Structure 1
Amino acid sequence: MLTGKQKRYLRKKAHHLKPVFQIGKAGVNDNLIKQTLDALEARELIKLNVLQNCAEDKHFVAEAIAEGAKADIVQIIGSTIILYKESTENKRIELPN
């Protein structure tokens, strides 16, 4: 669970990032969760974009992916979701206390 201070720090770090995945009409599936897990292990902080043709609500999509990848939701703004998960082998981001 992230504190408010940590979320602010991660939002600042994620500002310049481009979305790694786009979620369309296929919605959330096992393959998307697996790829998200791999991306989080490599980068720790990623953005996802929910397209207009996605049948599911962006909050449901964020919860489903975060739960499947065991990641933390940093922010949902517009159609963009920011996720964070500490990497086991590739630690890059030092969170403030």
Structure 2
Amino acid sequence: MPLTNQQIRHLRSLAHHLKPIVMIGEKGVTENLSTELNRALEDHELIKVSIAGADKEERGTITKALCQTSGAQLVQRIGRISVLYRPSQKPQIVIPTRN
């Protein structure tokens, strides 16, 4: 289910103060990284991911791969930081409903 603009704005405001939980280095997306990403999304629902050592196009490709493998949705991407959201089994974040 794609997020509405209102929901994205709300999630961006919640993510503003967060620090990156998942950091991707030169090895890129590995199986262990995918496991940690899924664990972080289940625990926090809304996370920041830091992607180091890549150019703009490569960071976009990595972000898309992360979203596809984890089932998360991209909320925002600024520079080397991507904000991902995926509701967990026990939702902690209440996002505005669609109008």
TM (norm. structure 1) is: 0.92
Shift of 1:54: 3.6
Whether 2:71 is the aligned partner of 1:70: answer yes
Q: Percent identity?
A: 39
What is the identity, as a one-letter code, of the residue corresponding to 1:96? P
Distance (Å, rounded) in 2 between the aligned partners of 1:2 and 1:28:
25
Tell me the distance in 2 between the aligned counterparts of 1:54 and 1:78.
Answer: 10
Following superposition, the deviation at residue 31 of structure 1 comes to 1.3
Partner secondary structure for residue 76 of structure 1: strand
Q: Which amino acid aligns with 1:31?
A: N
For the 8 Å contact 1:17–1:46, the answer to whether it is kept is: yes
Cα distance between partner residues in 1 of 2:80 and 2:19: 13
Structure 1 spans left out of the alignment, 5+ residues: none
Equivalence for 1:45 = 46
The alignment's TM-score, normalised by the length of structure 2, stands at 0.90
Given that 1:21 and 1:48 are in contact with CA atoms closer than 8 Å, whether structure 2 keeps it comes out as yes
Kindly report the root-mean-square deviation, in angstroms, between the aligned alpha carbons of the 2 structures.
1.3
